């Protein structure tokens, strides 16, 4: 019995027409083309990846075309003319078997070597003596913070182990160290809590970093938050999208860390991403070769508001970046005399509710500074220094956030601890009005909503 060809019935023809229309639609759809073609590369490393991609794509297309052509040739050349005709049986062909073994082997080995060369190139550090810009990336549900550092002007007088319990740091000169300043040694961040002589007590491995070993004579850096924002509401995100600023033509080292779960630092025009892994600091080397703004996002599902975890990379010319960096860099720390401890640095105003000392510690440990800045001045989130929102509404905001903010259940932070944070925020100097980032909640309260 001869099998009926599927296109000879009405349903078969309908499927063929539908399939052809679908292919034609996809061929003219920009979204489909975007999934097939790579975006233009804006970095040296991206150029290497792009070349490797098209080499792989070209070889894959060539193999596909050759195999499909051979299949079609065999189907039509050797198709049976009648039921009585039997095809010739061939046991084996040594030449053909050698070719289809050796050729794929050569292709795979060549691609393996080429991939290793590209991988080595994109993971290579800067050349000795080459200028490098370091950006410390902190991912947290669901925001990004971008920290930079400048020399503090001192170094370690004694080494420090990777044990996080070792919190006393001996400096050659501690006069420039101030309470709650964030120090940087290598890729580790440390928050200053107290000072007694040249011994500084710190909290190790803050901002998602990890404790590592440091040797005597290692330079101490001072960290500052260089996160800019743009009010655009992209992808239903928070009103203010964080921006990381880098120079063109200079090697940039991104030190990528996570404060909670797995995230991924991804800029499509870099053509590769790197995960932010809790308990590790990952390094991404990039040399951007074009100015512009490149929209980016977290590329690893990290929870409820993963889609809101977006950011932008802004690449400036060397001169523009130098001006931006100078404007962002905080003024040199003024030397302060005598010892200090956290208890002496914050005093509650009369009538304040809660413990501001404890509130300051909680503000950092809960990661509030990632969105609102180290002094509540506002970054991705609104300005909350000396907030006008009453305490009961602040507690409600922690429990059921009005905007894109992480919800904090009572077992994670109690009402009393929120009151402590609220008390500390009332002691912090509010930035000038032209620098205040508004909150929809605060706006609604001020309008009587």
- Convert the pLDDT of each residue in 335-374 to its tens digit: 877 777 744 444 444 445 678 878 887 887 777 777 777 7
**pLDDT at residue 6 tops 60:** no
153 and 285 housed in the same domain: yes
Q: Residue 375 corresponds to which tokens in the numbers above?
A: 């002094």
Question: Domain for residue 23, yes or no?
Answer: no
Q: What is the pTM of this model?
A: 0.72
Q: What is the pLDDT of residue 85?
A: 66
Of the candidate ranges 28-32, 314-318, 397-401, 403-407, the one whose mean pLDDT is the lowest? 28-32
**Reading across the β-sheet that carries 168-170, which strands appear in turn?**
168-170, 199-206, 188-196, 182-185, 219-225, 143-155, 132-140, 251-258, 282-287
Question: Once rounded to an integer, what is the mean pLDDT over residues 423-443?
Answer: 62
Domain boundary among 345, 366, 390: 345
334 and 356 housed in the same domain: no
Span 156-209, pLDDT tens digits: 988 899 898 898 989 988 888 887 788 999 999 988 888 888 888 888 988 889
Report long-range pairs for 30-34 (Cβ below 8 Å, ≥24 apart). Answer: none
207 and 318 housed in the same domain: yes
Q: Hey, how many other C-beta atoms are within 10 angstroms of the C-beta on 162?
A: 13
Q: What is the pLDDT of residue 262?
A: 92
* pLDDT bracket for residue 153 (50, 70, 90): confident
* pLDDT bracket for residue 4 (50, 70, 90): low
Q: What is the pLDDT of residue 237?
A: 45
Question: Domain for residue 8, yes or no?
Answer: no
The CATH code of the domain that includes 298 is: 2.60.40.420
155 and 264 housed in the same domain: yes
Domain enclosing residue 262, as ranges: 140-345
Between these two residues, 367 and 145, which has the higher pLDDT value? 145
368 and 306 housed in the same domain: no
285 and 331 housed in the same domain: yes
Question: Domain for residue 4, yes or no?
Answer: no
Domain count along the chain: 3
Q: What is the pLDDT of residue 232?
A: 62
334 and 373 housed in the same domain: no
Question: Domain for residue 22, yes or no?
Answer: no
**pLDDT at residue 129 tops 60:** yes
The CATH code of the domain that includes 407 is: 1.10.760.10
351 and 332 housed in the same domain: no
**pLDDT at residue 48 tops 50:** yes
Span 240-291, pLDDT tens digits: 688 899 999 999 999 999 988 899 999 999 988 999 999 899 999 999 999 9
Q: What is the pLDDT of residue 358?
A: 81
318 and 226 housed in the same domain: yes
Percent of the chain's residues with pLDDT above 90 = 21
229 and 264 housed in the same domain: yes
- Backbone phi and psi for residue 335, each to the nearest 5 degrees, phi listed first: -60, 140
Instruction: Please write down the HEC assignment for all residues of 59-73.
Output: HHHHHHHHHHHHHHH
Domain boundary among 345, 369, 384: 345
Q: What is the pLDDT of residue 420?
A: 84
Question: Domain for residue 193, yes or no?
Answer: yes
The CATH code of the domain that includes 55 is: 1.10.287.90
254 and 381 housed in the same domain: no
Question: Once rounded to an integer, what is the mean pLDDT over residues 20-38?
Answer: 65
Q: What is the pLDDT of residue 236?
A: 46
Give the whole-angstrom CA distance, residue 306 versus residue 319: 35
352 and 205 housed in the same domain: no
Domain boundary among 278, 312, 345: 345
């Amino acid at each position: 019995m001869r099998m009926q060809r599927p296109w000879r019935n009405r349903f078969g023809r309908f499927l063929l027409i539908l399939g052809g229309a679908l292919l034609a639609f996809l061929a003219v759809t920009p979204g489909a083309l975007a999934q097939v073609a790579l975006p233009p590369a804006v970095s040296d490393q991206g150029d290497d990846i792009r070349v490797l991609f098209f080499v792989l794509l070209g070889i894959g297309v060539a193999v596909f075309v050759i195999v499909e052509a051979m299949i079609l040739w065999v189907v039509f050349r050797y198709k049976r003319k009648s039921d009585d005709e039997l095809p010739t049986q061939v046991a084996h062909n040594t030449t053909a078997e050698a070719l289809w073994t050796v050729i794929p082997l050569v292709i795979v080995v060549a691609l393996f070597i080429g991939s290793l060369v590209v991988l080595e190139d994109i993971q290579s550090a800067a050349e000795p003596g080459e200028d490098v810009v370091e950006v410390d990336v902190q991912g947290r549900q669901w925001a990004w913070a971008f920290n930079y550092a400048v020399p503090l002007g001192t170094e370690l007088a004694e080494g420090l182990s990777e044990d996080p319990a070792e919190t006393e740091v001996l400096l050659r000169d501690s006069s420039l160290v101030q309470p709650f300043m964030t120090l940087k040694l290598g890729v580790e961040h440390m928050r200053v809590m107290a000072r007694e002589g040249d011994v500084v007590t710190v909290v190790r491995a803050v901002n998602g970093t990890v404790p590592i070993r440091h040797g005597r004579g290692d330079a101490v850096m001072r960290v500052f938050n260089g996160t800019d924002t743009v009010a655009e509401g992209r992808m239903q995100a928070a009103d203010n999208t964080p921006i990381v600023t880098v120079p063109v033509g200079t090697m940039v080292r991104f030190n990528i860390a996570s404060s909670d779960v797995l995230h991924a630092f991804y800029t499509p025009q870099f053509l590769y991403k790197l995960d932010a892994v809790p308990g590790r600091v990952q390094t991404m080397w990039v040399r951007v070769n074009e100015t512009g703004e490149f929209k980016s996002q977290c590329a690893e599902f990290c929870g409820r508001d993963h889609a809101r975890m977006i950011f932008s990379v802004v690449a400036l010319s060397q001169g523009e970046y130098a001006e931006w960096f100078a404007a962002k860099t905080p003024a040199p720390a003024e030397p302060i005399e005598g010892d200090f401890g956290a208890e002496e640095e914050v005093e509650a105003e009369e009538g304040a509710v809660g413990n501001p000392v404890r509130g300051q510690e909680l503000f950092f440990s809960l990661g509030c500074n990632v969105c609102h800045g180290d002094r509540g001045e506002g970054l991705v989130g609104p300005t909350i220094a000396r907030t006008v929102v009453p305490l009961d509404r602040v507690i409600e905001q922690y429990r059921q956030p009005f905007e894109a903010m992480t919800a904090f259940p009572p077992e994670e932070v109690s009402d009393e601890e929120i009151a402590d944070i609220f008390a500390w925020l009332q002691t912090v100097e509010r930035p000038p009005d032209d620098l205040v980032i508004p909150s929809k909640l605060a706006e609604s309260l001020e309008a009587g909503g």
